[in-house]
Chains A and B, each alone.
Chain A
Amino acid sequence: MNANPASRWGLRVLGLGYLTMLLLIPLVMIFYKTFEDGIGPPLDAITSPDGLHALKLTLLMVVIAVPLNTIFGVACALLLVRRKSKANPVIDAIINLPFAVSPVVIGLSLFLLYGTGGWFAFLGENGIEILFSVPGMVLASIFVSLPFVVRETVPVLQEIGTDQEMAASTLGANGWQTFWKITLPSIRWGVAYGIVLTTARVLGEFGAVTIVSGSISGQTQTLPLFVEKQYANFNSTGAYGASLVLALLALITLFAMNLLKRKEDA
């Protein structure tokens, strides 16, 4: 690439300017607004019983939804790449559904399925609460974050090919040993990136969870719902504080992956 300096600089300024306007300024504004009146008010909002409960509930969603979607995602990617079948394009399209459908619609569909008159309404009638409780929120979180691990793992699996796996099998490894010792270590960064995206999505999920949870303070309110409630109640400092916590959680996830990767490369 031997573009002239003027156009190269022009492109850089354009790219950075775009990112600054769209991402950086809004985030800095939140940071600034949060601590406008010192650290007290936002800290109070976050450490209130409802705030702490929301944080715990959000982390619970992550702890349940992320491992499940990781296992499903890797298994599904293996199926799509390693087992050629006529059903693959259909499975592939279905996996993309959560990307294509608005989260609110996903929430509504769960509501219809488990609510009064729905196919699975009998669960609620028999004391197994799905809607307005944690199980429904977990379902919604899993649904919206399902494609990430699959999407990140499929290209890596395609790229590594099957030579190493075949070599392992001629050396006496069975399918399970080959998966743990050869396939998984080879695709780990694809899977890790998928996990980071899944985590970020679950942390921030709003639309689907709002519908199925009912957003009851101290009971079925995750951090994003807490932020929205604080904001609606004109407690903007509380809303900013909780938003900051959310952003920090996402940053921690990213840094954790970077640290792991750096340790590995060293």
Chain B
Amino acid sequence: MGISVEGANKRFGDFQALDDVSIDVPDGSLTALLGPSGSGKSTLLRAIAGLEDLDSGQVTINGEDATGKPAQKRGVGFVFQHYAAFKHMTVYDNVAFGLKIRKWDKTKISARVHELLRLVQLDGLAGRFPSQLSGGQRQRMALARALAVEPQVLLLDEPFGALDAKVRKDLRTWLRNLHEEMHVTTIFVTHDQEEAMDVAGQLVVMNEGRVEQSGSADDLYDHPANEFVMSFVGEVNRLGDGFVRPHDMDVVLDPDERTEEAMVQRIVALGFEIRVEFVLADGSEVWAQLTRAELQKLELRQGQIVYLRPGTTKSFSGDSPPNGDGASTPRDSQGGDDAEVTAAA
């Protein structure tokens, strides 16, 4: 049950949007598809909805093969980044649209629409047009419209992407609560790792049309499968061959066998958190996340020589070698290594 995608491929001209993607979304879960733009996450979501045809691969929704089915027969609720509000219809008619298509009778439609408008806290705005609503209200209307037809699965494509920070946070909490009440299998696409971790129980990290890793937020943060995941779900420093989180770096004033010499380059106060930037002896730059109290104790100043003691350092095996910008493929990096070897020889 739930949603599963097997071996999905999709190509737009020269661009491989999906490269042999398989995912499993458990029934009733709230899953985030997380990745940078161009990673294929939206394409995958649209393929599940039937809004995009796959070149190959299979989509199964609640145990039923949906691969060739048109969107209108898949029983999915879809919420678009830019709301896709029916501009010429009132809020009421927007929400009632799917029910009218299903030829419900008028009194039943009216009861259902008002029930949903209460759920999304738009009761009393039924007669407004979308142009008279704020962004957050429009998106809640779009959600009510998608939920009206009792979809088997709910798909949200960057639903909060066009909203300002405050409204985003409110809607996140609201969506999480809504999911706890309704338990409809939900996938939502985002490029914001904080949003994904805040809302979803399960995350699927995508990059360049492939799934890099899936699991809970803790799994991904503590046991990233490769450097891409490590750097995408949180901040990361590179130390030699290893990677370390900035909050996992101790700054000490006396050297020992595990420390590395560094010069304080810049101290940035971000409220409670302090960001201290260093230059290492080999010229590379790293930063450490300190608290205000730690900074006061150390009395750091610009230009000072200190010693860094990294905590848990991760290094990744040859299958997924580190690639600093997250854009080059493993093969590219190996090519780079070869070049280095040649140069050294």
Contacts and interface: CB of A to CB of B under 8 A. Distances in A.
Answer yes or no: are A and B bound together in one complex.
yes
Interface of A: 163-164, 166-174, 177, 181-182, 185-186
A167 B86 contact: yes
A170 B76 contact: yes
A172 B149 contact: yes
Contact of B145 (A171, A173, A186): A171
Contact of A172 (B84, B86, B87, B98): B98
Given A167-B142, A169-B71, 17 more contacts: A163-B82, A166-B84, A167-B84, A168-B97, A169-B50, A169-B51, A170-B49, A170-B78, A171-B98, A172-B102, A172-B149, A173-B72, A173-B97, A174-B72, A177-B101, A182-B86, A185-B88
B65 to A, nearest CB: 18
Contacts of A170: 49-51, 71-72, 74, 76-78, 146
Nearest to A174: B72
Nearest to A264: B88
B185 to A, nearest CB: 15
B88 A171 contact: no
A61 B71 CA distance: 43
B101 A172 contact: yes
Contacts of A182: 86
Contact of B97 (A163, A171, A186): A171
11 contacts: A166-B51, A168-B86, A169-B51, A169-B71, A170-B72, A171-B97, A171-B98, A171-B101, A172-B149, A173-B72, A173-B97
- In this complex, the member of B72, B80, B102, B145 whose beta carbon has the largest number of chain A beta carbons within 10 angstroms is B72
A164 B97 contact: no
A164 B72 contact: no
B102 A167 contact: no
A164 B84 contact: yes
Interface residues of B, number: 28
Interface of B: 49-51, 70-74, 76-78, 80, 82-88, 97-98, 101-102, 142, 145-146, 148-149
Contacts of A186: 87-88
A182 B85 CA distance: 10
A164 B146 contact: no
Given A171-B145, A172-B149, A164 B101 contact: no
A174 B69 CA distance: 12
A169 B97 CA distance: 11
B144 to A, nearest CB: 12
B101 A173 contact: yes
Q: Interface majority SS on A: helix, strand, loop or mixed? A: helix
Nearest to A164: B84
Contacts of B88: 185-186
Contacts of A172: 72-73, 98, 101-102, 149
A174 B88 CA distance: 19
Nearest to B145: A171
A172 B142 CA distance: 15
Contacts of B83: 163
Contact of A164 (B70, B71, B74, B86): B86
B103 to A, nearest CB: 10
B101 A167 contact: no
Contacts of A185: 88
A186 B87 CA distance: 8
A163 B71 CA distance: 13
A172 B70 CA distance: 9
B146 A169 contact: no
A261 to B, nearest CB: 13
Contacts of A168: 86, 97
- In this complex, the member of B50, B80, B86, B146 whose beta carbon has the largest number of chain A beta carbons within 10 angstroms is B86
Contacts of A169: 50-51, 70-72
Contact of A163 (B70, B80, B148): B80
Nearest to A186: B88
B80 A167 contact: yes
A177 B102 CA distance: 11
- In this complex, the member of A163, A166, A171 whose beta carbon has the largest number of chain B beta carbons within 10 angstroms is A171
A32 B97 CA distance: 55
Contacts of B50: 169-170
Contacts of A167: 78, 80, 84, 86, 142, 145
Contacts of A177: 101
Contacts of B85: 164
Contacts of B51: 166, 169-170
The 10 residue pairs across chains A and B that have the minimum distance between CB atoms: A171-B98, A163-B84, A167-B84, A170-B78, A169-B71, A185-B88, A172-B101, A169-B72, A172-B72, A170-B71
B101 A166 contact: no
B162 to A, nearest CB: 12
A185 B97 CA distance: 14
Contacts of B78: 166-167, 170
- In this complex, the member of B73, B97, B149 whose beta carbon has the largest number of chain A beta carbons within 10 angstroms is B97
B93 to A, nearest CB: 10
A217 B101 CA distance: 54
Nearest to B79: A167
Contacts of B98: 171-172
